[in-house]
Chain A
């Protein structure tokens, strides 16, 4: 009941932030990361494959799937990173269960691997990034980006390996923590999963930047554990994709997020 009260309180703080479900689908492979190519196409990264989906009204249509190249690697907790190359119909993909990083393109609804590297290059990473790029620390779900050890990174915000939020590489002023799913909605606006240990429910946090602090603008309970998030800003709000892990298998839900201007 305390949490319910907190939810209501949050709703009072941000009465206009609303999340409306648009698409709900079961996934055959657990998602490690998500990325919108545009308002209709969504990339889903799993252990050793990348899948391209198309949002068709209230349905999710699978358009293409490509197995990631590279050698299989042992990693206890699966993790992955997708970085879209803006305006190029392309993205970099890396998981901790395949060696290296792969550049993939989408051409006429088909996926093709067109390049590879040992790590996701700095040009595909947000902000000033170290020349060695981003790679998974061997056998772990920890991303090594220069001296930083991260669980997730996006434009302007990252989650350190202990769950602490980092703004431009520095700890958030209040020590706020988040889960290991994170996505940028726009400048100073992010989505993150909850920071508590796994249980049957997770929460989707809408975070707003305030200098060196991050404020929770809204929080929504979500069934299952959030594994990955993606967002695409539109004129009236944003499209939000949430990949979850539930006792009945992996799920993907796409929402319309409004009231965030």
Chain B
């Protein structure tokens, strides 16, 4: 029998002996300082980061977008395609409830989605649906019927404007609003019946503070536990300023030709992918004339944390300019270092390196947080997600 003394193994591990592991604790309240707060917590297209955060706390959507932009379950499971891709069938989670303790029903979901489709925010999705294309075949299912075959659920369903509410207007998000001072302060308490389980935190208070220096000072002075778009300072959580970058490896064909690199860079810049990624803004200058692409087919390696909307938009533009593009999706680290001539990756800071780098967009994500606050997550649209946050005690 092979025996290994664990103590010796431990010493051989090297590096600092970081300890773990008392996991998430239930309890505690946090205050988040945000640049602005909305007048109302009604479902709507978010106008700013504080609005997005507040709506994400109070409301829940049929499906969600994870950090990689993939569709995940919300009040419903990830939908199954039917009718050759022209229908999406959503099954509601059986234990999903609203804040007023009424069950989330298919009727409530249909009514909420119709409200969304009638608003400007739902116009894009409305255009893809058949007339009366939202209906409930029974109490626990909802069907969307499209004019053409769809691949997966439309990301618009994860918009806060598409949140599902009860007939009385109650939300189903992880926190229940208890105090509302429009545009200034919202206090919320944990919703025990949330579809993914009670949040760890007992409560969250959102406070509007327009001055970024003061938001930063709020965290430094202990008046807030986290701040959005604050002036970053240690020991706060490092700012997240992800750049979406197209990497062109000049050592490999076709990128070994300067003409090909110029053509690809110009085509990528013309794709304006920032317009297709919620919360992103352009990082590239306005392109000039786009030269023709001088190659037939191209494999674009895409990191899994790149929003699919960005890679699909880029691929579509490259194809429209005469290339044939296939996507090769890989883990972020692998994609960054793949031996492939063209890669689309997210990098945490402004890109540096010897490859030709074409910045396409930046995700304006900057969060300052005090030590001892764990479980903060950033959604793909830059929304700060607090539902699994917890504080050390």
Chain A interface (Cβ < 8 Å from any Cβ of B)? 1, 3-4, 6-7, 11, 18-22, 57-58, 72-77, 138-142, 151, 161-163, 177-181, 193-203, 220-226, 255-256
Contacts and interface: CB of A to CB of B under 8 A. Distances in A.
Interface string B177-207: 0000000000000001111111110000000
Contact of A220 (B1, B10, B193, B196): B10
B25 interface: yes
A194 B27 contact: no
A76 B23 contact: no
A194 B6 contact: no
A197 B26 contact: no
Nearest to B374: A197
A18 B5 contact: yes
A195 B392 CA distance: 10
Contact of B23 (A7, A180, A203, A223): A180
Interface string B3-37: 11111011101001111111111110000000000
B26 A180 contact: no
Interface of B: 1-7, 9-11, 13, 16-27, 93, 95, 192-200, 372, 374, 388, 392-393
Contacts of B193: 139
Contact of B194 (A58, A74, A200): A74
B40 to A, nearest CB: 28
A219 B26 CA distance: 27
Contacts of A7: 7, 10-11, 17
A161 to B, nearest CB: 6
Contacts of B26: 140-142, 161
B197 A77 contact: yes
Contacts, number: 144
16 contacts: A3-B16, A22-B1, A73-B95, A76-B200, A161-B27, A163-B22, A179-B23, A193-B22, A194-B19, A194-B22, A195-B19, A198-B374, A199-B19, A200-B20, A203-B21, A225-B20
A141 to B, nearest CB: 7
* Cβ-closest 4 pairs across A and B: A3-B17, A76-B197, A202-B20, A139-B198
Contacts of B1: 22, 57-58
Nearest to A203: B19
Contacts of A6: 17
Given A177-B22, A179-B20, A19 B27 contact: no
Contact of B20 (A11, A76, A77, A194): A194
A7 B13 CA distance: 13
Contacts of B10: 7, 220-222
B392 A197 contact: yes
A6 B193 CA distance: 44
Nearest to B6: A19
Contact of B7 (A1, A18, A73, A162): A18
